Amino acid sequence: MANPNRILILDDNADMCDLLVECLRPLRYDVTSTTSGPHALALIETERFEAAILDLLLPDIDGMEVLRRIRKRRPEIEIIVLTAYATLETAVEAMRLGAYDYVTKPFHAGMIRSTVTRAIEKHHMATRLTAIYNLSREMVLSLDVVQVAKAVLDIVEQVLEFETCSLHLVDRRRNELCRVMARNPRQKKALRLPLNNQEGTAVTAARSGQVIYVPDTWESPGHGEGEGSPTSRSELAVPLETSERVIGVLHVESADTDAFSQSDVKLISTLAAQAAVAIENARLYEQAQQEIAERKRAEEEVKRRNRELAALNKTGWAITSSLDLDEVLTVAMAEARTTLDAEAASVLLYEGPTHELVFAASASPESEILVGTRMPATAGIAGWALEKAQPVLVRDVQCDPRFYTDIDDLTGMTTRSLLAVPLVCKGKRIGVIEAINRSGRAFDEHDLDLLTTLAGSAAIAIENARLYEAEREQRKLLEQSQAQLVQSEKLAATGRMAASLAHEINNPLQAIHNSLQLMLSFPLEPDEQQEYLQMANDEVKQLMGMITRTLDFARRPLQTAEPTNVNSGIEKVLALANKYLQHRHIAIQRDLTSGLPTVLAAPDELEQVFLNLVLNAVDAMPEGGTLHISSHMTQDGGLAVSFADTGHGIAPEHADHVFEPFFSTKETGTGLGLSVSYNVVQRHGGEISFQSKPDEGATFTVWLPALEE
């Protein structure tokens, strides 16, 4: 508990000393007075004072000398100079030597009290700042929780008057508030306060993370830290918080009502913030030290396991990082040979049709001779491992009756010890991995465990590589089939427009024929001949353009994506189908938004989709009608192209089958047009949908992602 403020009065006049003591009595300070300069200096050496009132005119020693000695030995004491003969030079000299203020005689009692009060406040402020600095320095140097707690309580004891003071830490595992250290505790044993059902100021601060100040506990029932404190009248609890997590509470109690000022609260909050960081650092340091100790106790074991795991991880990554079967096999062999320090390593794959094991890869000096060699699937130690689906270790191969000598005869090697592990993936035996002749010694059980682990990764990688190759071939066939379907639909669409194309070709031919007949049958003037020649030339150009459009559409798609203008594709399709639409009495309404962004697409495939939708709309209007084609931006930044007809619509029972291949309600339809269109749009990252009501027509909409700039 902090002692009351002490004031020293030094004046050669005893009556003046008594007067000053009486003036300061309302402040309830502990006042000591003396008329002797040497006595005052002796008191300064042995006792604590916050402030001193010093008369400059002393008979036994010069007042300025007393001021200098006090400032030299006890610089924290605030000195108020008192003189009846003050001059400007005297005041300046006193202030230069470190005096807080000076008062001239005669003085007013209120002035003395005010000056002394301000001096005491300045002393306390300096003391608190020094305490905070010292605490910060000590906590930075300390990595022990108990030392940090002691330093915090030492500082609180220096700067604050209290009855009890304690520091608690939160125990998350037990959900309790545990007292680490206390000053003037009422209970000697460690106090634990449950956080879930215990009322009290400290617990409330820990749960809420807020500063809790109760100026009068008798008027606030339910408060108190749980020790039984009937004499406590005010309490202050400040949470220790770091990284938005409360780790403890600093709790102070006083026997006085409203004992703590706002300045006290700020000071304790500052100390709590610094303590929280220091305690958290100390905890982390202790945890790190424990982990280091644990690692040291098992250092050799960890190093050995790390080396093995690193080798296995490297091997597993190297094997699974490729889907090329030859590369997987080559890497698996090289890593197996390196990991086991073996003279040679091989992978033998099982071929079911011939019931043989084939050396698919080898890491050995004779790998060129060995790769491709076949042996019966039941022969040798490798055949035994495959048949039994069990790993096998043979320390002396030459004495094992299962040994297949033909391989040594082929390569010229002498096999001494051998490991053989079956390659099994999803219950399927796909081959065997072997390691031969460990350098310096025979293989042991630990080597067999390593190769077994490696074999698991290798089996999966080999099977994945095989599946990938099969899937790649299947994908090629699928792409070829899709391209053939698109081409077939193009030819079918061209066939559906054949009559209109023939009519469109016939008209220009008739015009050309008539022009030539006139020129051959009648004598014409040069200007007339020129007119008919120009007419024939124009018709030839029209024929060439029409044939070019038809050939462009019907040619096999290049399937090369490029920035494509949707509106241009629509116009090309309408130009191609123009005569067909006229013959079927179809009116076209365009609502194409200009300035649309491009899409990344194969133009010929996109035009195929548009033409299929146009032809389907024409088929839905056998008596003629109107086809409304629109394009616009969508809210998500994509493009939408709609084809709305006035035909008979789609029956509800057919709605779920519209995009299925080979589904058609037309007698001569193939049922592939919409299916092919659906697949093309999906490959372009888009969607195709429709809306329809019977006898009210149908609207098909193609949604495509816009190409970003």
State which amino acid sits at residue 149: A
pTM, whole model, 2 decimals? 0.34
The sign of the torsion formed by the CA atoms of 297, 303, 308, 311 equals: positive
In this predicted structure, the answer to whether residue 1 has a pLDDT above a threshold of 50 is: no
pLDDT in tens, 148-190: 888 888 878 877 778 888 999 998 888 888 988 888 876 555 5
In this predicted structure, the answer to whether residue 275 has a pLDDT above a threshold of 60 is: yes
Confirm whether 142-291 and 556-704 share one CATH topology. no
266-270, 271-275, 356-360, 501-505: which range is least confident on average?
501-505
**Residue bearing tokens 């890491």:** 363
- Pick 317-464's CATH classification: 3.40.190.10, 3.50.50.60, 3.30.450.40, 3.60.21.10: 3.30.450.40
The residues spanned by each domain of the chain are: 6-126, 142-291, 317-464, 556-704
pLDDT in tens, 59-82: 888 888 888 898 888 888 889 888
Q: What is the Cα–Cα distance from 186 to 641, expressed in whole angstroms?
A: 84
In this predicted structure, the answer to whether residue 694 has a pLDDT above a threshold of 50 is: yes
Alpha helix segments (H runs only) across 142-182: 145-159
Q: What is the Cα–Cα distance from 589 to 455, expressed in whole angstroms?
A: 67
**Average pLDDT over every residue of 530-542:** 70
pLDDT in tens, 184-241: 876 555 578 888 866 788 888 888 889 999 888 776 655 554 444 555 678 999 999 9
Distance of CA 509 to the CA centre of its chain: 71
Q: What is the CATH code for 142-291?
A: 3.30.450.40
In this predicted structure, the answer to whether residue 487 has a pLDDT above a threshold of 60 is: no
In which band, very low, low, confident or very high, does the pLDDT at 497 lie, cut at 50, 70 and 90? low
Choose between 545 and 682: higher pLDDT.
Answer: 682
Percent of the chain with pLDDT over 90: 10
Q: What is the CATH code for 556-704?
A: 3.30.565.10
Choose between 632 and 555: higher pLDDT.
Answer: 632
pLDDT of residue 661: 65
| Contact call for residues 70 and 89 (beta carbons, < 8 A) | no
Q: Is the peptide bond before 106 cis (omega within 30 degrees of 0)?
A: yes
What is each CA distance from 332 to 11, 211, 432, 520, in whole angstroms?
99, 64, 12, 85
Q: What is the Cα–Cα distance from 178 to 240, expressed in whole angstroms?
A: 13
Architecture in CATH of 6-126? 3-Layer(aba) Sandwich (3.40)
In which band, very low, low, confident or very high, does the pLDDT at 627 lie, cut at 50, 70 and 90? very high
Q: Label residue 222 left, alpha or beta by phi (over 0 means left) and psi (-120 to 50 means alpha).
A: left
pLDDT of residue 293: 78
In this predicted structure, the answer to whether residue 86 has a pLDDT above a threshold of 60 is: no
pLDDT of residue 2: 46
In which band, very low, low, confident or very high, does the pLDDT at 520 lie, cut at 50, 70 and 90? confident
319-328, 346-355, 661-670: which range is least confident on average?
661-670
Residues ≥6 apart with Cβ < 8 Å to 358: 348, 349, 351, 372, 373, 374
**Helix or strand run (H / E) with residue 122:** helix 109-141
Question: Cβ–Cβ contacts within 10 Å for residue 341, how many?
Answer: 14
177-181, 310-314, 655-659, 696-700: which range is least confident on average?
310-314
pLDDT in tens, 183-199: 887 655 557 888 886 67
Q: Give 32-44 as a DSSP string.
A: EEES-HHHHHHHH
Percent of the chain with pLDDT over 70: 78
pLDDT of residue 493: 56
In this predicted structure, the answer to whether residue 258 has a pLDDT above a threshold of 60 is: yes
Select the highest-mean-pLDDT range: 134-138, 307-311, 484-488, 533-537.
533-537
**Average pLDDT over every residue of 451-466:** 76
